[in-house]
Amino acid sequence: MIEILAGDGLLAIRPVLLTVIGLETAIAVFLLFGDAFWSWVVTVCTFVVFSGASAYAIVTGQDCNCISAAIGPKLMLPFDLSVLALVWAVRPGTSIRWNNRLLFEISGSLVAGLLVAGAASFYDPAANSDPLEFLLADMLVEKRWPLNARLHPELAALAKGNWMILVVRRDCEHCRELLARYFADPQSHRENERTAVFIAGDTTWPFKLDEIAIEPATQTSITWPIAEPFVASPAIFLLTNGKVIKARDGSDADEFLKELMPETP
């Protein structure tokens, strides 16, 4: 759930995600226990919506929040249309019937969806996550910065003073544009504040203190034993004595950095 809410996809807004969770639960329950013909109708409508969402994601360049990050809308749209065509071809011959049993099946499915969506609304993924699993702005404000001396001795310096920390990726054009705009001079910094950059995107994260560049002249690295933390790059964290006081990531990073640093002329 955290990855979806932290992204820029169609389901990044929590109320929308909860609504979809509830609807998908209701649909699943109805398909299991509902009338054959109406289950077919619901399946057709569902894949029409899925196809529309995939097409919209392609047109707008957004993530469709599909099965995984590796399966984008350009792969999902042909799949959705194929399933839709297959389902349409096996239309049951039963005529449309509306009766009390059908009303009960629909009502029961909707109640199940509401219960699951309601339960999901009380779930706080941030409270149940390891700080080193998700480096997200909303999760870390007012908390200790987790990339510290336990991971590398040089990071002990982050526990004292004021710091601006950037987390970027080499394959992130947005990150490169941001650094070119505000850190054409890699040693740029605000008064009474030091800088640090972490290069995400692999099980090894190069980092550099007092120099903001995707390819710093010299660098040291953190090696993650299993998988790197999830981060919505670019991410900006302001620290005071090792505690995150302000942070922004993803699309919010632009406006945040604009408030903090002058653009390169």
Residue 234 contacts residue 178 (beta carbons within 8 Å): yes
Residue 241 contacts residue 226 (beta carbons within 8 Å): no
Indicate the CATH number for domain 134-260. 3.40.30
**Per-residue confidence (pLDDT) for residue 156, from 0 to 100:** 94
Number of H helices, E strands in the chain: 8, 8
Specify the amino acid at residue 87.
Answer: V
Residue 210 contacts residue 113 (beta carbons within 8 Å): no
Per-residue burial over 41-62, b if 16 or more Cβ lie within 10 Å, else e, is: ebbeebbeebbebbbebeeeeb
At which residue do the structure tokens 């029409």 appear? 48
**Per-residue confidence (pLDDT) for residue 63, from 0 to 100:** 61
DSSP 3-state assignment of 221? strand
CATH 3.40.30 domain residues, the chain: 134-260
CA dihedral 133, 136, 141, 147 (to 10 degrees): 50
Q: What is the mean pLDDT of the chain?
A: 83
What are the structure tokens assigned to 30, written together? 């109805």
DSSP 3-state assignment of 243? strand
Helix-strand-coil percent breakdown of the chain, rounded to 5? 45, 15, 35
Measured over all CA atoms, what is the biggest interatomic distance in the chain, rounded to whole angstroms? 76
Q: Which residues of the chain have pLDDT under 70?
A: 1-13, 62-71, 94-98, 124-132, 264-265
Cα 69 from Cα 74, distance rounded (Å): 12
Cα 231 from Cα 16, distance rounded (Å): 22
What are the structure tokens assigned to 41, written together? 């109708």
**Per-residue confidence (pLDDT) for residue 4, from 0 to 100:** 55
Percent of the chain residues topping a pLDDT of 70: 85
- Output the pTM of the full model: 0.61
Specify the amino acid at residue 51.
Answer: S
**Per-residue confidence (pLDDT) for residue 244, from 0 to 100:** 94
Specify the amino acid at residue 134.
Answer: F
Rg over alpha carbons for the chain, rounded to the nearest Å, is 24
